[in-house]
Amino acid sequence: MDTKGTFHRLAENRLGSPRSAHKVKLVFGARQTGKSVLLHRVLPPDASVIFNLLDSSLRRRFESEPAAFRREVEALDPKVTHVAVDEIQKVPALLEEVQYLFDRDAGRREFYLTGSSARKLWQHSANLLPGRCHLCHLYPVVRPEEIGFRGRLHDEHFGTSGAFPVRNLDSRLRLGSLPGVSAEGADTATATLEAYVENYLEEEVRREGLVRQLGPFSQFIRLAATESGRQTNVARLAQESGVPASTIRTYYQLLVDTFVGYWLLPYAHPGRKRLLTTPRFLFFDLGVRNVAAGMSLSAPLLPDTGGGLLEQWVGLELMHRAGYAGRTYGVSFWRTTSGAEVDFVWQAPNEEVPIEVKWTDNPRPADARHVETFLDLYAPRARRGFVVCRAPRAEQLTERTLAIPWQEL
């Protein structure tokens, strides 16, 4: 694969870290987030080999005889120092072979594995290489991967060497942030997203045997996409769809296991219980979400649709950055039984930042009232807050709360 013209990804920082040297690198992410391209970027072209399990003939061979993989690796030229397996969940038994090779000749070769479904690995009780593996997730394009990024949450995890072109708000809310889509025009991007939903979310999920009946699952996908970003009411979804609540819970877990969506949990201050127990669910990409929900990608964004999409974009941006930053970072939402609510809380090792999202281009101090309530309750860890909006420039709404344009998140 020619990687000329491809763009730097934050995941490369993790894969190239000295901490991951002489460890098996496992890269998880939804389909079309760029895992295969990432392999070609990080592997030395003259000293590596990639086994792509999307090749049906190769997959069938290793399914029938996993030890054939070991024999092929053992027969490689000694100059080949890097071995990769793309879509490892297609043949989970290969993890045992990787472990054998890794343990027998420690340091001789570097192993890279990618996967778009943790579910199949867990279902087959696959060995996830405990103590030998460093896990990295790959997400749709985030702002730190774009040219000229300067964010208000900027820290050592997010440099300014991004190369993806910067797109306007309408484009990212309508078409999402998948790497391939980011480089396409609106017409072809729409066709790509429609194919993703039809061929992957439906056909491939069924082909992998993850669901028995496509009809109820397709109905669920549309409802789940429509509800994306809201607190999840499984009982109501079951009533509207006619699909049993237990099945709906299984379908949600399927989306999580294939990295198509995430649970956003209510905020819990360290040492205290969560105020609420009902989580929110977000699709991993807005373009995929919009097509799955049956939304027209050519219709103008109105306040009642644009506001919800902007909120979801901010949530996904924060969750993906936290995923790259590491386990000491997290994102939640805050809501009290009395009705006070903050859309997101950025949880870093040394601070917690409440973030409210408004569609307005003219923010007012009143927009910061719930942010201020959070800051009062959770000082000193909570010292500053943001209102993310469409204002052309940042504005100081209160002493502690800053309204920022979405580009400055």
Tokens 């987030």 appear where? 33
Distance CA 63, CA 86 (A): 15
Model pTM? 0.92
Of 367 and 183, the one with more pLDDT: 367
Query: What b/e sequence results for 319-341 when a residue is b if at least 16 CB atoms lie within 10 Å of its CB, and e otherwise?
Result: bbbbbbbeeebbbbbbbeeeeee
Q: Where are the domains of the chain?
A: 11-138, 169-408
3-28 mean pLDDT: 78
Mean pLDDT, residues 58-84 taken together: 95
Say what the pLDDT of residue 2 is.
46
Is residue 228 pLDDT above 90, yes or no?
Answer: yes
- Asked if the model's pLDDT at residue 286 lies above 90, the reply is yes
| CATH tag for 11-138 (out of 3.50.50.60, 3.40.50.300, 3.40.50.620, 3.90.230.10) | 3.40.50.300
Which is more confident, 119 or 103? 103
CB 377 within 8 A of CB 268: no
Residue 23: predicted pLDDT: 85
Confidence of residue 46 (pLDDT cuts 50, 70, 90): very high
Q: Please name which of 115, 57, 122, 109 lies closest in space to residue 87, comparing C-alpha atoms.
A: 115
pLDDT for 215: 77
Cα dist from 117 to 60, 68, 210, 232, whole Å: 18, 23, 10, 23
Number of residues assigned to the chain: 409
In this predicted structure, the answer to whether residue 173 has a pLDDT above a threshold of 70 is yes
Each residue of 359-384: pLDDT tens digit?
A: 999 999 999 999 999 999 999 999 99
Task: Please report the pLDDT score of residue 119 as a whole number.
Answer: 77
List, for residues 299-333, the tens digit of each pLDDT value. 778 778 899 999 999 999 999 999 999 889 999 99
Predicted local distance difference test score (pLDDT) of residue 387: 98
211 confidence band (pLDDT: 50, 70, 90): low
Taking 50 as the threshold, does the pLDDT of residue 4 lie above it?
Answer: no
